[in-house]
Amino acid sequence: MKVKSSFGPQYKEFEIGDVIFLAKEKPLKLTSGAEIKNFPLAYQTYGTLNADKSNAILICHALTGDQYAASKHPITGKDGWWSFLIGPNKTIDTEKFFVISSNIIGGCMGSFGPKEIDPETNQPYGLSFPAITISDMVKAQNLLIEHFGIQKLHAVIGGSTGGMQALSWSILYPQKVKLIIPMATSYRHSPQNVAFHEVGRQAIMADPNWCEGKYFLEKKCPEKGLAVARMTAHITYLSEVALQKKFGRELQNKNDFSFNFDPDFQVESYLHHQGYSFVQRFDANSYLYITKAVDYFDLEKDFSGKLSNAFNNLSPEIKFCLISFSDDWLFPPSEAKKLTHALAACGVNVSSITIESTAGHDSFLIESNALKNTIKGFLNNQ
């Protein structure tokens, strides 16, 4: 089913692509205790599902990503965020694999989220939308996989928040997946990362146009608050080396300081651009809900304070490939190391690699031979 949606400060309508309504007969119970039923999930697919439905790969997107992993984005017009990895004869070869990429619940690109219309009020859910967790996102994805009639996924792959989803797949549905590839991620969100998220949330809620989450009804958008949230978060996606290499202390189209509060430095202009472009494609309330879901993620806490307990019931056939990046300070290689030790302690087949990088956390979104070769080798040599 293809539907249209509207989004952004101008509330322009755009074609959302494929959307399916899930849990039509039996509600999906969320971690919070709330239940959702007959809710939309937007997705994209690439390649062809084979006769025995054994070649499916699920791609899980990062915090502010979406289903357009390898196709043109309907709002920005840009190529998909993993177009360099997914496609015919590419690393994730769509001549061989059937690739599924869905927008998480809580998102704003067609899946069930706070900007969707509540049938009981005929208004956007806003803050009446139920709280969600990473596990809830995965449970909704599982309903999509069941819709395709897939008994077992060849692989689940994701970076950052997508990596958390991949880890959750192994715990919630260990019999339904063969390979797990989490990258640039962790078993929990660190206190520092929670702090950055809270700064972003407070920036949004302090914007007078947020209107207690009812900005759609007021025909407004908390653009400034959402832009500041994005600017703050984007700093964590880069490394000091990346910032120095890309910008240094170079001025933006000027030879001297302006001696006012306009952007003087290139790095300032870059952050302003990131903030402005973000509000054109993302919903402020979705940002609140998704960042909170990531903050709640903690496999150690969920399993009595011992991380290895999370992986005690995995299928003996399941295999992991953990990928981290050397200068990622948001989710440093030490996080992957602890995950590797926990998996190994349970006798799980796990391999781990730290890729030398200079782009920080965003390295999983940047084309490199090391990243492509690692994923391709793991997918094809099992």
Residue by residue, pLDDT tens for the chain (382 residues) are 565 666 554 456 677 889 999 999 999 999 999 999 999 999 999 999 999 999 999 999 999 999 999 999 999 999 999 999 999 999 999 999 999 999 999 999 999 999 999 999 999 999 999 999 999 999 999 999 999 999 999 999 999 999 999 999 999 999 999 999 999 999 999 999 999 999 999 999 999 999 999 999 999 999 999 999 999 999 999 988 888 888 888 888 878 888 888 887 888 898 999 999 999 999 999 999 999 999 999 999 999 999 999 999 898 899 999 999 999 999 999 999 999 999 999 999 999 999 999 999 999 999 999 999 999 999 987 5
Residues of the chain with CATH 3.40.50.1820: 2-189+304-380
pLDDT score of 2: 60
Cα–Cα nearest to 31, from 172, 148, 151, 201: 172
Q: Please state the pTM of the whole predicted model.
A: 0.95
If phi over 0 gives left and psi between -120 and 50 gives alpha, with beta otherwise, what is residue 3?
beta
Q: Does domain 193-291 have CATH number 3.10.150.10?
A: no
pLDDT score of 11: 53
pLDDT score of 4: 60
Give the residue numbers annotated as catalytic, written as ranges: 160, 328, 361
pLDDT score of 264: 76
If phi over 0 gives left and psi between -120 and 50 gives alpha, with beta otherwise, what is residue 294?
alpha
pLDDT score of 147: 97
Residues of the chain with CATH 1.10.1740.110: 193-291
Specify the amino acid at residue 210. W
pLDDT score of 6: 60
Top-tier CATH class for 2-189+304-380:
alpha beta
